[in-house]
Structure 1
Amino acid sequence: MGEFLYLAQFFLLRRNKMREKRKFAERSRVLLNSEVRKKIYLVFEGEKTEALYFEAIDALKTELGMNPILELIPILRSYNERGWSNPKKILERIIRNLDETKSGKYSYESFFNCILEFYDEHHKLSGGKVQKQSIWNSLVFICIQENQKKLSDIMEDLETEGIKILEKLAEKEKIINVAEHISEILQIQELTYAEGFDKICLIVDRDPLSFSEEQYDQVVQICKERQIDFYVTNPCFEFWLLLHFPDHKNLDPVKIKENSKVSSRSRYLENELKKRCGSYQKYRYDAEDIVRRVDTAVINSTAYCVDINLLKNEIGSNLGTLIHELRT
């Protein structure tokens, strides 16, 4: 959910349910009645660089020879999830979202994220981040102090309890009461995921500072059990971007692995991208120009590690596998 889960202190973090960014997946052609859209849900650890790249992939699907029926759908993280960098925590949240959607039973935390998202999208909050945090704090207070519940508790009567919470919130925060929109609010975090048909892809960097070896192994195992595809670039997504250029062999393997700072604003791999792209920033670069070179990246990636288990410690990326699957 776009901007919410930071639970008064981050989980006490950002909205508990991730949601679909539907605009990204809008179709530009009419499908035949016999055609069924397969959805590819993309969950990024980073929310800028990767998002720009896959938006370009989506825009150039036909040009790249990818299946035009596929819908690439980025999952927007919730309010209190936005700063997360630990893939295991992100994975656990995905699974929780799926389970809640399937059962129709939601935690207070998930519902609160939906509320924040609804206000943010339909009643633009003039107070910005400060007001969002205040609303979140009030929701937490209502849950814990007034209702004597934990944020992780399941709401027993979703609609009845939800309406009461919305009424209390409007009174506390002096904001418009949106209780009449309870059904719309509850739909915000639903993932329209068809198990066994659609695909969920978790795309992360291999950052040992926020992602231990033990956690890495756990994520590999959980993804296998839950049929979630796990894509890793070691050390970071910028290395995958650099593989789109033919001179990747000029890169220093030791410097790739360390990816140390070369200036106050950039690290080794970012700096190498700037040399090749003219300019590069995580939130602003010519993604379509890079994506048009994706065949080069897939070939170049085979010169490095592509095995999901070995990527725990070795330089490389298995994103070439995802590109191949998007073409079948």
Structure 2
Amino acid sequence: MGAYPLHQAMKNISLILLIGCTIPLKGLSNNSDSASFYFQKGIAEKEAKRFLPASRAFDKAVTFDPTMVSAYLENAVVSMEMRRIHQAMELYKKVHQLDPQNKKAIEALMELNYNYRNYREAIRFAELCKGCEQSDKIVGMSLYQLEDYPAAEKKLQEASRKFEQDAEIFYTLGKNYLDMEEYAKAIPYYEKAVIIDPTKGRWMYELGLICYNQSKYQEAVAAFDKAAAAGYTQSSDFKENLGFAAIYAGYDERGEALLLELQSKKPGNTEITRSLAEIYYQQRKYDKSLKMCQLLMEKNPDDSKALYQAGLNFIKKGDKDRGQQMCDKAIEKDPSLASLRKKKEMPGGL
């Protein structure tokens, strides 16, 4: 056989190389077309609110093009619609991995991590989310949850200036000051929060407790009333706090009615009646204090503390002899009461 012509060999080699290059390119083109086809199918299903078929179509799209950011992003959106929160988070993470500057993914991861109580991750994504409206709020609330109260205060103050009608920001600021034990500072932020959102009964109840502990009793009663009107459960604790706030605010009949009703449900516990006797005594309402002492002694004729308190009331009313005799009799029954002779008033309740 003759030698194979060199020029023919070169043509065959070129043909082989050409075929070798063309086949993969054709495959890539087919993959791209398929990815685009399933992506468009997913969009159509999404617009028709058929979210599960949409999600499956987006899944199919990325099998043909694993770098298709738009498919992962749309799949995350429909996953949220289906309340598949964990799946959505993983999809947004994939978008962030492929496109670190993708604002939609960063913003979503900021919010999802906060909702999942991954506060440090929420802060990290918030700091990446340049220009995101909620970033200061998320950072501030995350810092509050992490108990970094001074830093939380700064961020939440910044957020409150941007969003003057965001009740949650003002409420969290109030809670932040409360946990910093700056109670007077907490009150105006609670007040602002419940003005913006008057449906938050729990917030109103917390405001009432703060006002009560700051000796703002009328404000406390008003806050408790608003909490009840907003649907907050009027438990025994709620009624007791409202009752004592009413007494201290000067609404004696209302407070007394609430408290004695509670006392009637626990006949073996006289703590509320004793407290009323002491409060009225401190307020120089001696007849009312005597009424409470009488209730106590009707339940237990040997109640030496109630007898002693009654004696003090008579002394304050000007009937010193009668009052002194009652105090002496009480001390005979309970010698420990003798130490109270050195004090002008009964300490901290009977």
Structure 2 length-normalised TM: 0.19
Name the one with the larger strand percent: 1
TM-score, normalization by structure 1? 0.20
* Higher-RCO chain (CA-CA 8 Å, sequence separation at least 6): 1
More helix by share: 2
